[in-house]
A and B are shown apart, each in its own frame.
Chain A
Amino acid sequence: EVQLVQSGAEVKKPGATVKISCKVSGYTFIDYYMHWVQQAPGKGLEWMGLVDPEDGETIYAEKFQGRVTITADTSTDTAYMELSSLRSEDTAVYYCATIPVTTGDYWGQGTLVTVSS
């Protein structure tokens, strides 16, 4: 069974950095890109970026460029998303997901990040 298990909820102050993990099991980690998606409260889905676990190559959405770092650790089959210089607008649920071209997609359970002074 494929599982993507994310780390728990975080509360951060403005200006801080958060790092969320996504531990995968049930498939070969390097076979699929790992995407990260933001969903602010009551809002839609916003694509943040992805990492190719095989070689660590990343692509980021311009909105998050410079503040987001997505990495993959093949020794632990874990992907990470780090977001810096947090502001209140970053309060959201963050999802990791594999979204292959043809086979089924898999999503983590989501991690709530609250940014508040």
Chain B
Amino acid sequence: DVVMTQSPLSLPVTLGQPASISCRSSQSLVHSDGNTYLNWFQQRPGQSPRRLIYKVSNRDSGVPDRFSGSGSGTDFTLKISRVEAEDVGLYYCMQGTHWPRTFGQGTKVEIK
């Protein structure tokens, strides 16, 4: 199985400041069709997860533009340009290239 490794696992941030989460995969996530299926999910406290980013850098509908994704191959990053109070929660990367699908361990974003 593809192992997804996130860092850091805990990320205290100041409101209005940027934040960055890294996700590394144990194998390349480039699919045979040429696409890279790397997703980012947010899970607010007490809520179901929701996807923020698909195929590395594409924002899902309704996702604020302060969220951005980048990367290639095995190294990926989720950035929040200016953290807001509503961004508190857990963030997961998930690969959709190989079977079985696998998630990272999660990164907890909290306000300092």
Contacts and interface: CB of A to CB of B under 8 A. Distances in A.
Interface residues of B, number: 28
Contacts, number: 61
Interface of B is mostly: loop
B103 A108 contact: no
A103 B60 CA distance: 7
Given A62-B1, A105-B50, A109-B48, A45 B101 contact: no
B94 interface: yes
B68 to A, nearest CB: 17
B92 A44 contact: yes
Interface in A3-17: none
Contacts of A45: 41, 43, 49, 92, 94, 103, 106
A61 B100 CA distance: 6
